[in-house]
Structures are given as C-alpha cells and as structure tokens.
Amino acid sequence: MVIDKHPMDDWLRKDRIPHIWCPSCGIGIVATCYIDALRASGIDRDKATVISGIGCTGRIPGYMNLDSFHTTHGRALPFATGIKLANPELNVTILSGDGDLFAIGGNHFIHAARRNIDLTVICVNNFTYGMTGGQVAPTTPMKAISATSPYGNFEHPFNLVHVASAAGAIYVARWTTLHVRRLRNAILEAMTKRGFSFIEVISPCPTSYARSNKLGTGLDIMRFYQQRSVIRHGFDPAKTDITMSSEIIVGKFVDSEKPTFTDNYEEYCKKLKENK
C-alpha cells in the first residue's frame, strides 16, 4: 500500500513546512501528540485555538492549521485568558517553553492557575533557551553548562509540576518525549477537563543543552529518558525535582476538581440578576 498523504497533512499548514526545529528536537513530537489528542477528543477543530509565547516551542501554533496566536514573550497566558473569557466555547491550549512560561511569564502562570481559567498548558521543558542559543533557564539543573552558565549553573531551578500544583492547577502531569502514547493521552485528558491543566514535557534540545552537557545524540537522549524515567502516578509533586543525576519522575500528579473562573463568574452574575 502506498500512502501519498501524511495523516497529519490536513492539520498542518503545509505551505509552512519545513519547520525551523533542529533534527532530534522534541517539539515536533509534542505538536504531533497535541494534534492526535485533538483529533481523538471530538472537539470541533474550528473551536480549538492554540496560543504561544516566544521561543522554539512558541513556533508550534504557526504550523497548526487551526486558529493560532503567536504572542509576545511570556504573555501567552493573559492573551489566552482574554480569548477564553471572550468566548468560553473555544478550547484553548497554550504551547510554550519553560523560559517563556516560567521566567518572563512566571507571574502570569501562577495567576492563571490560581484563577483556574479553563485552559490547557503544555510546557516543553528542554532546560534551556533554545532559540537564543542555549542560555541558562529557570529550569536548568544545578551544575549544567549553558551559554550564560559557562562554568556550571549555580541557581536553584524551578520544579515546574510543583509550581503548577502549588499555584492551583487542577491537572498536573509530567512526561518525556519518549512517552508518546502517555503524553498524547494526558493531553487528551487535560484538554477535555474543565479548569487549568498543566503538562510538563521533558524534551531534548540536541543543539544547545545536550551538546553543552555532552548528553549525546537524539537517540542517546531517548535512551537516557528510558533509563531514568520512573512512572509514579499520584506522587507528591514537591518530591519530583530533576537534577543532573536524579531519576525523572513522570506521571499524573494532580487530577482534582474545582469551579473555574467562568463557573464562578457566571454564578456571581446570576446572583446579581436575582437580587435585582
């Protein structure tokens, strides 16, 4: 059998391919998992909106044949908040990197999670600023070499799933780009769940982070993920720090329920009308 059309073709802006990502980069895997999850979800694709900030991951929406917004650095979440509140029917997913969402966008992240805006945030964590050439990030493990930590990082990094759960996210999971099936299922679960969902995807940056830290080729990194990853659903997110030598604890850590911003706001408006 000859397949002359890639099954994803219709979901991508083919006229924008080839993409900008390096060979062995994990971002394409995340994009594929998102599309696969969206197809499986039954969500009307014209009601699906993808939003990003700036960076390598921030380029995902530009390749998606969906309503897509590539905003400013760190600002995907407040932009997404506006679009979601304006039209709650839209299924809004944010795809952005660790630097974008947790350094420059950190304040927006904790407040969007606190408000429980009905958004799905997929953060590709490659431990570095890939697009600008591999500088130290708020996720870079201690001792890791980067373009701005040339003698080894000495700053304590964020544990993203811990931040997300502490800030109030109602769904928190972590997978690596090796866990394609689990990642796709997690995205599906998150996008169909009401409330602020967060998925961290550990992903290789073969050009910057892996090279400066001598982690080998893309294949070597996949092997590394296979050897180091430990699936622990329901594990305390506070105990899932990632270091240069630790296990990578993956799984679904939080899956809870609470009213969203829109639920509460609608209730609030309804009461105002009743009391009139």
Partner 1 sequence: MHGEFFMNGDIACAEGGISGGCRLFAGYPITPATEIAERMSQRLPKIGGVFIQMEDEIASMNCILGASWGGVKSMTATSGPGFSLMMENLGLGVITETPCVLVDVQRGSPSTGLPTLVGQADMMQARWGSHGDYEIIAISPWSPQEAYDFTIKAFNLSEKYRTPVLVMTDEAVGHMTEKVTILPEDKIVLEPRRKPPLPPDKFKLYSYDEKNIPWAPNAGDGYRIHVTGLTHDERGYPVVNAETQNKLVRRLVNKIRLNEKEIADYKGFYMDDDPEIVIVSYGITARPSLSVVRRLRKKGMKIGLLKLNVVWPFPEDVIRKIASIATSMFTVENNLGQVSIEVERVNFGRCPCFQIGHAGGEIHSPEEIIKEIEVSLKNGHR
The residues in 2-31 that bind partner 1, with binding defined as CB under 8 A, are 13, 15-16
Three-state DSSP at 217 gives coil
Please identify which residue in 26, 37, 84, 120 interacts with partner 1, judged by CB under 8 A: 84
Site track for partner 1 across 26-55, x = CB under 8 A: --------------------xx-x-x----
274 lines the binding site for partner 1 (CB under 8 A): no
Contact 100, 54 (CB under 8 A): yes
Pairwise CA distance, residues 3 & 6, whole Å: 7
> What is the C-alpha to C-alpha distance for residues 81 and 83, in angstroms, rounded to an integer?
6
Residue for token digits 């039954």? 42
- Which positions from 93 to 132 touch partner 1 by CB under 8 A, shown as an x/- string? --------------xx--x---------------------
Of 3 and 272, which CB lies nearer to partner 1 in the complex structure? 272
Count residues binding partner 1 (CB under 8 A): 40
Of 13 and 232, nearer to partner 1 (C-beta) is 13
Q: Which residue has the tokens 């431990």?
A: 127
Which part of the chain contacts partner 1 (CB under 8 A), choosing from 132-140, 183-191, 216-224, 264-272?
A: 264-272
Contact call for residue 57 and partner 1 (CB under 8 A): no
Q: How far is the CB of 34 from partner 1 (least distance, A)?
A: 15
Q: Say if strands 128-129 and 135-136 run parallel, antiparallel, or are unpaired.
A: antiparallel
In this chain, which of 8, 40, 85, 254 binds partner 1, going by CB under 8 A? 85
Nearer to partner 1, 103 or 186 (CB): 103
Report whether 106 contacts 76 (CB < 8 A).
Answer: no
Q: Looking at this protein, which amino acid is placed at residue 13?
A: R
What's the one-letter identity of residue 272? L
Q: Among residues 29 and 80, whose Cβ is nearest to partner 1?
A: 80
Region binding partner 1 by CB under 8 A among candidate stretches 1-9, 58-66, 195-203, 213-221: 58-66
For partner 1, the closer of residues 164 and 210 by Cβ is 164
For residues 44 and 193, what is the distance between their CA atoms, to the nearest angstrom?
15
- Total Cβ atoms within 10 A of residue 222: 17
Cα distance between residue 33 and residue 36, in whole Å: 5
Nearer to partner 1, 16 or 258 (CB): 16
- Partners of 202 in the β-ladder: 125, 176
Name the amino acid, one letter, at 77.
L
29 contacts: CB under 8 Å, gap ≥ 6: 177, 180, 183, 203
Q: Would you state the structure tokens that stand for residue 143, as one six-digit string?
A: 């001792």
265 binds partner 1 (CB under 8 A): yes
Binding site for partner 1 (CB under 8 A): 13, 15-16, 46-47, 49, 51, 61-62, 65-72, 75, 77-87, 89-90, 107-108, 111, 261, 265, 268-269, 272-273
